[in-house]
């Protein structure tokens, strides 16, 4: 089934996301989609923007200091210190309070989870966020401060370190950054899904189905085509596309009767319901048919 779902999401959403599966303590395996690198960068930039706004507001509080004769470097030091505190608290607080999401991650539909499927321990959240400080902000801050006493070689070494660590997610399968490796976490993409109506019920009118199909007609397609049809019925691109699909199905299964233009939806709905009934019935008896090219085969229970 997993490969059917993989092909479908590639067909329908146009992207093939990298999937991993985790096992919950109850023993149910759940497929999770890894967050793409772009999503993570955008979530990070959003978080940076929110933090920047927070630090800016805090800075408004210390503006009076500047008018009371305090030196510029001292003000800068205070600002850097405030930024440091806000940064440490921001990520850790939100990932603890919002089940592994910061505001930026929430907007991008991302979550931090335990890589092996267990509970997300507070120590993991703290470790991954403190490591961010080590791997990125500290070298960057020192590089940006352009402290002349460090010398060019050290400046370049810091820049090299920052870039190498920031590029780490590019070089491993699970897009882990150093903090994820140490904290045992992984970032996944988890948009919220809604439960829609059952098409097999909507396909039927009060007097039952208008169109009938023989078992041999229903034995042609498999789960892949059924679920592609489901998607088409839920989000029909245009009436023309529906007619086209209707024609293809009729030719494939050898359905002789002509279908009027206004009956296309009804025909497809009835075909979906009948096909699903047939395939699910087969599945109950251990015969899973993945698609039209594969034979119906006994499936090992997942």
Partner 1 sequence: MTEPQRASAETALRSARFRAAREDAWHRLDEMVSRVEKSGVGTLSASESQELPLLYRSAASSLSVARNIALDRNLLLYLENLTLRAYLVVYGPRTGVARNLAEFLAHGFPAAVRGMRRHLAIAFAVLAAGAIAGYSLVASDISYYDLLVPSFLAGGRGPDSTADELRKVLFAPWPGFVETFIVFANFLFRHNAMVGIFCFGLGVALGAPTILLLAYNGAALGAFFALHARAGLAADLAGWVAVHGVTEILALLLCASAGLVISEKILFPGPESRLESLARHGRVAAGVASGAVGMFFMAGVFEGGFRQLISNTPGRFAFESATAVFWAAYFIFAGRGKER
**Sole residue written with tokens 């929110």:** 50
List CB contacts of 116: < 8 A, sequence separation 6 or more.
22, 184
Q: Which of residues 90-129 bind partner 1 (CB under 8 A)?
A: 92-93, 95-101, 111, 113-116, 118-127
For partner 1, how many residues bind (rule: CB under 8 A)? 93
Residues 255/217, Cβ–Cβ less than 8 Å: yes
Residue 75 beta carbon to partner 1: minimum distance, rounded to whole angstroms: 10
Question: Which residues are CB-contacts of 100 (< 8 A; sequence separation ≥ 6)?
Answer: 111, 112, 113, 120, 125, 185
Is 65 or 240 the residue whose CB approaches partner 1 more closely? 65
What span, in angstroms and rounded, lies between the C-alpha atoms of 12 and 136? 37
For 185-197, the DSSP string reads EEEEE-----PPP
Site for partner 1, residues 156 to 185, rule: CB under 8 A: 178, 181-184
* 34 in contact with partner 1 (CB under 8 A): no
- Cβ proximity to partner 1: between 120 and 264 the closer is 120
Measured from the CB of residue 51, what is the shortest distance to partner 1 in angstroms? Answer: 15
- Determine the Cα–Cα distance for residues 186 and 21; give it in Å rounded to an integer: 12
Q: With respect to partner 1, which residue has the nearer C-beta, 51 or 124?
A: 124
Helix H or strand E segment including 220: none
Among 10, 15, 45, 89, binds partner 1 (CB under 8 A): 89
Measured CA to CA, the distance from residue 197 to residue 8 in angstroms comes to: 20
Query: Which residue number, 20 or 240, has a Cβ lying nearer to partner 1?
Result: 20
Q: Which of residues 192-221 bind partner 1 (CB under 8 A)?
A: 192-196, 198-201, 203-204, 206, 208-209, 212-215, 218
Least gap, CB of 218 to partner 1 (angstroms): 7
Q: Does 242 bind partner 1 (CB under 8 A)?
A: no
């Amino acid at each position: 089934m997993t490969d059917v779902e993989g092909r479908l999401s590639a067909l329908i959403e146009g992207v093939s996301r990298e999937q991993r599966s985790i096992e919950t303590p109850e023993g149910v395996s759940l497929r999770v989609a890894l967050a793409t690198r772009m999503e993570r960068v955008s979530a990070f930039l959003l978080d940076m923007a929110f933090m920047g706004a927070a630090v800016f507001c805090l800075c408004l509080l210390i503006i009076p200091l500047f008018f009371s004769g305090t030196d510029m470097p001292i003000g800068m030091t205070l600002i850097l210190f405030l930024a440091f505190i806000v940064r440490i608290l921001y990520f850790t607080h939100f990932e603890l309070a919002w089940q592994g999401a910061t505001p930026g991650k929430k907007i991008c539909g991302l979550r931090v989870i335990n890589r092996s499927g267990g509970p997300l321990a507070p120590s993991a959240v703290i470790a991954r966020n403190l490591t961010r400080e080590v791997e990125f902000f500290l070298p960057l801050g020192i590089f940006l401060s352009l402290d002349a006493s460090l010398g060019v070689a050290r400046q370049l070494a810091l820049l090299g370190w920052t870039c190498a660590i920031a590029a780490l997610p590019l070089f491993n399968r699970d897009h882990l950054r150093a903090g994820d490796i140490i904290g045992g976490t992984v970032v996944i993409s988890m948009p919220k899904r809604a439960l829609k109506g059952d098409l097999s019920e909507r396909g039927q009118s009060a007097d039952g189905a208008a169109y009938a199909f023989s078992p041999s007609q229903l034995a042609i397609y498999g789960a892949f085509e059924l679920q592609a049809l489901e998607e088409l019925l839920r989000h029909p691109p245009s009436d023309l596309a529906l007619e086209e699909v209707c024609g293809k199905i009729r030719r494939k299964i050898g359905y002789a009767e002509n279908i009027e233009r206004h009956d296309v939806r009804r025909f497809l709905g009835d075909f979906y319901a009948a096909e699903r009934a047939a395939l699910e019935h087969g599945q109950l008896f251990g015969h899973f048919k993945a698609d039209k090219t594969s034979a119906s085969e006994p499936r090992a229970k997942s």
